[in-house]
Amino acid sequence: MNRTKNWYCRRASLVALVVALAAVAAPVAFAALAGNGSTVTLPMLTHDNSCGTSTNKKQIGKVTFSRHKDSLTITVDLTRAVPGDYVLETFFNAIPNDCTPWGDSHKGKVGADGHLHMSYTLTGTDGYNDFAVYGTASSGTPYDDSGIAHLAGG
């Protein structure tokens, strides 16, 4: 009788383990089927203008880079930026330690509370893995930047 009870306990434990592993593996399998996606979130640093070699630690927001196949969606959430007009540009590393402008320009307005939310998508990013976002306030302050996001795929 005791041997049968132990067998049922082991069997129940094994079933629970298999169910737990399946629950963990299922999202991973679906993510693999979704393509060569990748997401990286970095802080946006004020007046840094460093192209990935940041020395300034004053964070004014965050930038999220999300790649799906040949497109890259960039979402910028600023919380402590200089109020007024604001321009965002994307840069990429064509060669190591080099920031080359992608050629885009996105205009927004930072509210009096220092907040700005902006999202845009670039296409034709296949073959490129390293990106940064620079922002400039209308007040003429130096560039704010995100540092370099290293993305998979491309």
Specify the CATH number for 38-150; select among 3.40.1180.10, 2.60.40.200, 2.40.10.220, 2.40.180.10: 2.60.40.200
pTM for the model stands at 0.71
Give the model confidence (pLDDT) of 85-135 as tens digits: 999 999 988 666 677 889 999 999 999 999 999 999 999 998 888 999 989
CA gap 47, 69 in Å, rounded: 32
Burial of 90 (0-12, 13-18, 19+ CB in 10 A): buried
Residue 36, pLDDT above cutoff 60: no
* Domain parsing of the chain, residue ranges: 1-34, 38-150
DSSP type of residue 142? P
How many percent of the chain have pLDDT more than 70?
A: 66
With residue 30 as reference, give the H or E element that holds it: helix 2-33
Looking at residue 127, its amino acid is G
CA gap 141, 118 in Å, rounded: 20
Looking up tokens 């299922």, which residue turns up? 26
CA gap 36, 137 in Å, rounded: 34
